[in-house]
Structure 1
């Protein structure tokens, strides 16, 4: 055990930079997962290197998070933001730069944990070139994504092939919920080894102050009924459903109702274009007086927004897990989420929050009104959510399970 924990581990997250702020273009749960898993594994004694693609010339090539944990940015393709569906052409160069890094540093990674299909492809290619073990986490399944969109990208078939090959050939796939495991088995392949290890959250940083204190720090009215969304601006996140649900709320004309939409964007990029579209809908529905677009929320401020809210809404069309749900619950704030994917695993209906059919404006309206109408019940939901997170969803617990898995795999011969 001690010897194997001295073995360097590579977490590969090509488009999900562990060291950038959440809410920026295509930055969300995957970035948080890789960063927090890396730090927690390092606390257990593993040397952890988190590899990503450099997307701006001003970004440092190496960022040290702790003595055992660092982010390493490889130059593969242009040093600019590249949408994930356009990243495939740069993967061969990423593999070459990864191997070059190993040669220059003398580090030979015996186990890599790949995240998302782009990184999965890199892992599959590395296994052709060197002996190592691959653990893979999907974060999103292509087969589900393409069922929900009309504009299917040219790269779709490549992604579906990689998703299947990762499940069938990686030493282990980590599903973050029983629902994801079921989808993998039914929609991707009956072959392959799957472990269920959920995502986590930093329970020590969330829910530490009262709702009143959080609102005071943010300059929010203590009497307001605050509905909160945090995440990327992406049509699949269902923000339009939330906005239209608020427009039909019985509190619609109450001066106390406030909708806060958190998350950053870049002008002209897909993220920024979706924000423009949502802002236009807000204006057309006359909700602009009660709606606040915060832009990027700093890590140190996000716990304040979670705690200040009366309810956090996650209207996604699909979520493999849904980190926002457990972050909200850790903050004593009830959750209303779409009844999809891992959200069916993290949110317990009528206990920690409510689940609604995706894209169902009316169902979300009714759920929001139920919680806002009954503060005592909302408090009970919040307290139950906090308890659930404490017992099931800490990053320390996630890291311990991954550590056991890594140890098991490292005790077995590597194959390619």
Structure 2
């Protein structure tokens, strides 16, 4: 049995996905930990204590312990403001690793700050370091520009991590190209492992039965958007496309938006204004965050799933929609480009182009048989390539590569001397 440390400074597996800083990374951490535990490994997840009432440790599931790290105030802090607390996070890891009677075999850091906090413990104790960035700062800045609130020193930190990590997990081919072209990564240390879906969560439900459960009306073309309510997700683009769909093409379409906090959300208020300007307020339903076990009902009740972010390192929701047998119209960017097969399981469109999106939706709204055919093709593709079980197996293979050639004390000394030089 291996002992695996997962570090995820701002994204806890215990958090409800769908908040501003709670989304795909939380799901990734939770699901990969479950797969490792199911394979007989012991897993400790280190995440920042963001609530004073949280216990120091939680035995979350069999074989999985969540450890709340005291680093910064015990309250919610936007992830863009967490970097100053990573020294404390790293110091905690050093103390914790030093107290273990049985050492960890690998540490898998999620996001650049987790990797920064994990560097010292990897180097001191010779524990191989695996990093999944989930988003790269240089790519984020390219798309977000002035909206990107992370400090500029993120770029150098990421470059240092790319140089020092034993393995980097790219979530899609575009992620790998960005690591090579923007960070001069060593291709020998990159492994492409996508994200996945849970077949037990995303089970097929008859469309009419799902609509009855949600009180959705037949006779309307139902569009689903699901994810965090942040500008880069492009929800405004979908709302504007809905307006075009109804005004110019006469399609009786309705949009359901799942995700986000319904209370005092500037982004939600902005999206309501976009809906009013597009004259579709009565036809857009903002239903807020939903439990994971409820999501398959929303996917299965829809006619099409739409996601048009400006950029997306992977994008778990398109895979979940495919698994539920629905066509996906998504941005031709990042991971969506590699999960959605254009013309086969859905369509790829430019981001921030409501006209192009509306044209594809008109096409699908007029051809129910094509929707069904694309949905079936997507379900087959999801089952073949994108289950969390397969993701877990692939990651364990990466870990096995490293533990088979784990650093000896001599190599650790040489590594440290190289850093000092």
Fold match (TM-score > 0.5): yes
How far apart in 2 are the matches of 1:14 and 1:287?
A: 39
| From 108, 121, 124, the counterpart of 2:119 | 124
Which residue number corresponds to residue 138 of structure 2? 143
How far apart in 2 are the matches of 1:78 and 1:321?
A: 31
| From 370, 387, 401, the counterpart of 2:380 | 387
- Residues 353-375 of structure 1 show CA distances to partners (whole Å, capped at 9, x for unaligned) of 10001111111111111112211
Q: Which runs of 5+ in 2 are unaligned?
A: 416-421
Map 1:83-94 to 2 at 5 A.
Answer: 83-94=78-89
Q: Which runs of 5+ in 1 are unaligned?
A: 1-5
Which residue number corresponds to residue 107 of structure 2? 112
| TM-aligned CA deviation for residue 106 of structure 1 | 4.0
How far apart in 1 are the matches of 2:109 and 2:298?
A: 31
Which residue number corresponds to residue 360 of structure 1? 353
TM-score where L is the length of structure 2:
0.92
| From 10, 15, 27, the counterpart of 1:15 | 10
How far apart in 1 are the matches of 2:10 and 2:70?
A: 12
| From 265, 275, 278, the counterpart of 2:261 | 265
RMSD: 1.9
| From 259, 263, 282, the counterpart of 1:289 | 282
- Residues 89-142 of structure 1 show CA distances to partners (whole Å, capped at 9, x for unaligned) of 111111122233335564532310011111111122323433211001111111
| TM-aligned CA deviation for residue 267 of structure 1 | 4.2
The yes-or-no answer on 1:230 pairing with 2:235 is no
The yes-or-no answer on 1:40 pairing with 2:35 is yes
| From 261, 265, 272, the counterpart of 1:279 | 272
Which residue number corresponds to residue 419 of structure 2? none
| TM-aligned CA deviation for residue 198 of structure 1 | 1.1
Map 1:266-345 to 2 at 5 A.
Answer: 267-268=263-264, 272-345=265-338
Look up the SS of the partner of 1:248 in the other structure. Answer: helix
Look up the SS of the partner of 2:44 in the other structure. Answer: strand
Which residue number corresponds to residue 162 of structure 1? 157
How far apart in 1 are the matches of 2:185 and 2:162?
A: 9
How far apart in 2 are the matches of 1:356 and 1:172?
A: 33
Preserved CA contact (<8 Å) 1:25 1:264: yes
Preserved CA contact (<8 Å) 1:23 1:231: yes
TM-score where L is the length of structure 1:
0.93
| From 238, 243, 247, the counterpart of 2:243 | 247
